[in-house]
Amino acid sequence: MESVLIAHAEIYIAMAALFGLFMAWGIGANDVANAMGTSVGSKALTFKQAVMIAAVFELAGAVLAGGEVTKTIRKGIIDVSSLGDTPELLVYGMLASLLAAGIWLLVATRMGWPVSTTHSIVGAIVGFGAVGIGMEAIQWGKVGTIALSWVTSPLLAGSIAFFLFRSIQRLVIQTGDPLGMAKKYVPYYIFIVGFIISMVTMVKGLKHVGVKLPMEQCIMIAAGIGIFIMLLGTMMIRRLKFDPKADRDFHFANMEKIFGVLMIFTAIAIAFAHGSNDVANAIGPVAAIVSIVQSAGEIASKSATPVWILMLGGFGIVIGLMTYGHKVIATVGSGIMELTPSSGCAATLGAAVTIVFASGTGLPISTTHTLVGGVLGVGLARGIGALNGNVIRTIFMSWIVTLPAGAILSILFFFTFKGMFT
């Protein structure tokens, strides 16, 4: 059946690029909005600034550290050896998955629901795999691991965010001089952001560009970058203007200004982390299609993800955020609870650490769940009354619907494409 692949090769690749771009647009509109929701919601960044940060660092995360998760999405969920002499079925399935997940994201974004793009694409791939290829083709162990991570990632992010915010309360907020203490301690939090992101990029990300450094060297370089970013943050804090009158209405107004500086760095961290994990949801299937078509049906061939595909994903994400991201930003940024820069930082940093580590291990976790987990963790640290139960219920419901929605749409498109091309 290789002739089908060769006869329609250009069409398949063009469709893959187009649907991949559409899916990436959906990720930008829905998922990056989660990533930037806390920064915009806490008023540390304007929407425009959030878009600019996302544009640079989503792309950097995708290109530098996006390859590990792409492998899992591309090859880890379906056992391709069972396809034998019908490799084109995988092409139809991956095209169907991209289109199905993209459409579901569009619907969810219109409603302002922060759903999981990882759920959408994994649900879609499992859907077409089970019906189009056979239940035995699904690697249920791998799917189980991914599903488990959807529970563990919000718990982990929530726990980190809880303890981070507790430390901020103890070291800064609940002291006699919150402004002075913020000036003293915020640079250390900035160091942590710089260190963690650099560390993961070097340990995991640079493999794709052929650079492998020994662990001690990685730690030294990451510490150096952390110190540089800490000094940069300290300079930014020194340039802030404080108004003693502002503290009359809200005792922490000037202190929160300093956390606004930290929020810029945590926004960068989350954009980078998000690009590294979630770009794979759009480009994993594209990479699978391109490698099958170019090798005329060879599925098993090991191939690195071409940089143009990583770039395609990165650009799609940025365009999605710019054109349609504002709806979900409102839900995450202020719907779950009112965020201030100090609480927003803890939520974002908890989520960023969790996501970056998951990207390093190649586990496609849900940024959405992780971030909402981070916000809930901070909410618990502030007291349960700070959380909006109705919004949380709607978010959980939309999470449950996402898997079957992706799977059903994907099955429909799979049989449509199969009918069109064979």
- Those residues whose C-beta lies under 8 Å from the C-beta of residue 212, and which sit 6 or more positions away, are 206
Which of 98-112, 350-364, 365-379 bottoms out in mean pLDDT, i.e. has the lowest?
350-364
Q: Rounded mean pLDDT of the chain?
A: 79
Q: How far apart are CA 45 and CA 42, in angstroms?
A: 8
Q: Which domain holds residue 32?
A: 2-421
Instruction: State yes or no: pLDDT of 126 exceeds 70.
Output: yes
Instruction: State yes or no: pLDDT of 43 exceeds 90.
Output: no
Highest mean pLDDT: which range of 17-31, 70-84, 129-143, 349-363: 17-31
Residues 271-290: b if buried by 16+ CB within 10 A, e if exposed: bbbbbbbbbbbbbbbbbbbb
Instruction: State the pLDDT confidence band at 313, using cuts at 50, 70 and 90.
Output: confident
Which of 6-20, 325-339, 400-414 bottoms out in mean pLDDT, i.e. has the lowest?
325-339
Count of domains for the chain: 1
pLDDT at res. 343: 82
Instruction: State yes or no: pLDDT of 211 exceeds 70.
Output: no
Task: Tell me the mean pLDDT in the region 311-323.
Answer: 83
Instruction: State yes or no: pLDDT of 366 exceeds 90.
Output: no
Q: Read off the DSSP letter of residue 136.
A: G
Encoded amino acid at 168, one letter: I
pLDDT at res. 34: 64
Closest CA to 348 of 332, 364, 359: 332
Q: How far apart are CA 111 and CA 126, in angstroms?
A: 25
Instruction: State the pLDDT confidence band at 1, using cuts at 50, 70 and 90.
Output: very low
CB neighbour class for 249 (10 Å; exposed up to 12, middle 13-18, buried from 19): exposed
The answer to whether residues 329 and 33 touch, using CB atoms and an 8 Å cutoff, is yes
What is the reported pTM? Answer: 0.77
